[in-house]
């Protein structure tokens, strides 16, 4: 997001406000960041050594560290900001100076993020959400100020927007006083995740990726281990038991070795799932404020992000075939506002029951279809792509078998599975048109329901092709701003007349809005 570039503010209050610098602990963070940057300098050091100039390696490394630290100190000394009555002004740059003025009226909210080291030092990174879009590198932010000052700054901006919180701009230059100011008052607590809920969510978040990492690590450090043992190999479990005098018992119960290997797989998968869930969502809290939903979470990196309610474009409910049987779901909101993290859709309920999700949906004026709502299904022709893939696999397998390769039978078996899965998954594409909203369902292994208000749709493409056209079918693709570019919403293979009527209704609703 970009603030407007302008001259210094003309109002007297802003000019009389004191310029401030980032917290001195910014320099400590700069030292921490030297670790990854040092890796980029290693090829140069290696080149010096290969050239036979080993005596210069250590001085070169020392010079690199010294230059990096001096540069960080100059950047810190040349960065300053002031908080006026109606805007925040930021000046930065060593050789090329940038002056940025951001009116409070342009700021949607202030996000606060704390990494592990920042939490220990009592500082935070502050980002300003202006709604101007653009690349993340152009966003206005303060890398490190006192946590109390960050909360006071957020209170000041919210007070300017009329959010009924005390102004605190005068205290931003004094951390000791800023710490006495309470954060913005929370209106209502909508959702929390206690440790027990995190543990259950982690069990459902079984991670096969962690198994690959452990296996790769064991291969990489195999020569350094004091023993030759692979926890995933049943033969190693068999050998281990024999070392401790269980030969006869193991011979009679060979299945124990396979069970041990399987338990190893399950333990690592479940443990990694729980660990990732705890790191990402520790002390998860979703609160309703006057204009936004505020989400705080994280163990090592603590994030505090607000989602303006009026900028929500769609709600997305995601579950799994097993989660659904226990009524566990995840709620994401597609918004014009970035959530300040890697994913562009806001995860506001990571793991909850529908009874807990409904109140959150009510806050953004979106509701789920009730059980009596009729759903229209897409034509089974959407399975054509999978069936074509199955046909190719079967043809490849048959050719292999004719050439004397028995393994070609696997291709034929895989073709049958692909065809069955395609036909089965086609049953789960459905949609329904509600007053002011369209709901779209898809998927059986990981079911997803998109709740899309008519007013959020900016464009609707009606597509047909040589397969759909003879059948009188069309696909509707909805253009909705914000969110992930991979999260396009569409209703595939529905009757052309129904597609045209739905398109006209939604565009008419958008025009009225």
Q: Is residue 231 part of a domain?
A: no
Q: Record the pTM.
A: 0.73
Q: Are residues 124 and 81 in the same domain?
A: yes
Q: Are residues 103 and 164 in the same domain?
A: yes
pLDDT for position 137:
43
Q: Are residues 507 and 404 in the same domain?
A: no
At residue 286, what are phi and psi to the nearest 5 degrees?
Answer: -120, 120
For residues 178 and 159, give the distance between their C-alpha atoms in angstroms, rounded to a whole number: 16
Query: Residue 64: CB partners within 8 Å, gap ≥ 6?
Result: 38, 41
pLDDT for position 164:
43
The pair of three-digit structure tokens given for residue 165, joined into one six-digit string: 């919180």
CB 344 within 8 A of CB 483: yes
- HSE-up of 5 (CA within 13 Å, CB side)? 8
pLDDT for position 132:
55
Which one, of 269, 363, 302, lies nearest residue 116 by Cα?
A: 302
pLDDT for position 2:
39
**Tell me, what CATH number does 453's domain have?**
2.30.29
Last residue of a domain, one of 185, 219, 237: 185
Q: Is residue 249 part of a domain?
A: no
Q: Are residues 421 and 434 in the same domain?
A: no
Q: Is residue 52 part of a domain?
A: yes
Burial class (CB in 10 A: 0-12, 13-18, 19+), 436: middle
pLDDT for position 246:
55
pLDDT for position 383:
92
Q: Are residues 463 and 407 in the same domain?
A: no
Q: Is residue 140 part of a domain?
A: yes
3-class DSSP assignment, residue 208: helix
Q: What are the per-10-residue average pLDDT scores of the chain (513 residues)?
A: 40 60 79 67 70 75 81 85 85 83 80 81 82 53 84 79 45 42 60 94 77 57 50 55 55 60 76 89 91 88 85 92 93 77 79 95 93 92 92 91 86 91 92 92 92 91 92 93 67 94 87 68
Number of residues written out for the chain: 513
Last residue of a domain, one of 411, 426, 441: 426
Q: Are residues 474 and 411 in the same domain?
A: no
Q: What is the dihedral of CA 51, 56, 58, 60, to 10 degrees?
A: -100
| Domain encompassing residue 454 | 429-512
pLDDT for position 195:
94
Q: Is residue 104 part of a domain?
A: yes
Task: Give the β-pairing of 123-129 and 109-114.
Answer: antiparallel
Q: How far apart are the first and last CA of the chain?
A: 26
Q: Is residue 37 part of a domain?
A: yes
Q: Where are the alpha helices (DSSP H) in 282-383?
A: 321-325, 354-363
pLDDT for position 407:
83
The most distant pair of C-alpha atoms in the chain lies apart, rounded to whole Å, by: 91
Report the number of distinct structural domains present in the chain.
3
For residues 332 and 334, give the distance between their C-alpha atoms in angstroms, rounded to a whole number: 7
For residues 166 and 18, give the distance between their C-alpha atoms in angstroms, rounded to a whole number: 20
Last residue of a domain, one of 185, 205, 230: 185
Q: Are residues 22 and 106 in the same domain?
A: yes
Q: Where are the alpha helices (DSSP H) in 179-223?
A: 195-204, 208-220
Task: Give the β-pairing of 109-114 and 98-103.
Answer: unpaired
Q: Are residues 32 and 60 in the same domain?
A: yes
For residues 115 and 29, give the distance between their C-alpha atoms in angstroms, rounded to a whole number: 10
Burial 301-338 (b: 16+ CB within 10 A, else e): bbbbbbbbbebbbbbbbbbbeebeeeebbbbbbbbbbb
Q: Are residues 434 and 393 in the same domain?
A: no
Q: Are residues 58 and 137 in the same domain?
A: yes
pLDDT for position 236:
58
Tell me which residue has tokens 């543990």.
Answer: 199
pLDDT for position 250:
55
Q: Are residues 31 and 135 in the same domain?
A: yes
Q: Are residues 408 and 439 in the same domain?
A: no
Q: Where are the beta strands (DSSP E) in 49-206?
A: 80-83, 87-92, 98-103, 109-114, 123-129, 141-146, 188-193
At residue 294, what are phi and psi to the nearest 5 degrees?
Answer: -110, 130
Q: Is residue 227 part of a domain?
A: no
The pair of three-digit structure tokens given for residue 506, joined into one six-digit string: 């939604």
Q: Is residue 313 part of a domain?
A: no
């Amino acid at each position: 997001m970009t603030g407007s570039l302008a001259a210094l503010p003309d109002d007297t209050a802003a000019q009389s406000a004191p310029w401030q610098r980032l917290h001195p602990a910014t320099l400590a963070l700069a030292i921490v960041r030297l670790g990854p940057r040092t890796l980029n300098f290693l090829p140069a050091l290696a080149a010096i050594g290969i050239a036979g100039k080993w005596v210069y390696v250590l001085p070169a490394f020392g010079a690199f560290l010294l230059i990096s630290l001096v540069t960080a100190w100059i950047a810190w000394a040349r960065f300053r900001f002031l908080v006026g009555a109606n805007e925040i002004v930021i000046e930065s740059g060593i050789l090329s100076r940038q002056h940025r003025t951001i009116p409070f009226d342009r700021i949607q909210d202030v996000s606060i993020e704390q990494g592990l080291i920042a939490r220990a030092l009592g500082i935070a990174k502050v980002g300003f959400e202006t709604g101007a879009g653009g690349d993340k590198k152009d966003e206005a932010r303060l890398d490190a100020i006192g946590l109390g000052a960050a909360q006071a700054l957020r209170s000041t901006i919210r007070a300017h927007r009329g959010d009924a919180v005390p102004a605190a701009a005068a205290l931003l230059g004094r951390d000791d006083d800023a710490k006495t100011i309470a954060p913005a008052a929370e209106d209502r607590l909508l959702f929390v995740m206690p440790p027990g809920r995190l543990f259950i969510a982690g069990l459902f978040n079984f991670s096969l990726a962690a198994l690959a990492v452990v296996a790769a690590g064991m291969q990489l450090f195999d020569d350094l281990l004091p023993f030759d043992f692979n926890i995933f190999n049943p033969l190693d479990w068999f050998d281990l038991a024999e070392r401790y005098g269980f030969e006869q018992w193991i011979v009679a119960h060979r299945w124990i070795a396979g069970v041990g290997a399987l338990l190893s797989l399950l333990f690592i998968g479940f443990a990694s799932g729980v660990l990732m869930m705890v790191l990402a969502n520790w002390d998860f809290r979703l609160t309703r404020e006057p204009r936004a939903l505020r989400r705080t979470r994280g163990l090592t990196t603590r994030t505090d992000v607000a989602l303006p309610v009026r900028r929500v474009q769609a709600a997305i409910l995601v579950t799994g075939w097993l989660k659904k049987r226990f009524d566990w779901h995840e709620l994401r909101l597609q918004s014009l506002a970035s959530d300040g993290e890697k994913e562009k859709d806001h995860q506001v309920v990571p793991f909850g029951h529908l009874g807990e999700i409904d109140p959150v949906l009510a806050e953004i004026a979106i509701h789920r279809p009730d059980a009596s709502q009729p759903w229209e299904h897409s034509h089974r022709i959407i399975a054509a792509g999978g069936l074509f893939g199955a046909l190719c696999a079967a043809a490849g397998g048959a050719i292999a078998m004719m050439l004397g390769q028995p393994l070609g039978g696997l291709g034929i078996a895989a073709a049958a599975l692909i065809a069955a899965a395609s036909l089965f998954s086609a049953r789960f594409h459905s949609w329904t048109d509600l007053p002011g909203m369209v709901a779209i369902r898809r998927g059986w292994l990981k079911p997803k329901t998109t709740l899309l208000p008519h007013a959020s749709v900016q464009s609707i493409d009606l597509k047909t092709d040589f397969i759909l056209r003879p059948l009188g079918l069309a696909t509707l693709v909805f253009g909705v701003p914000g969110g992930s570019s991979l999260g396009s919403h569409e209703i595939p293979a529905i009757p052309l007349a129904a597609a045209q009527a739905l398109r006209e209704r939604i565009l008419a609703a958008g025009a009225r809005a």
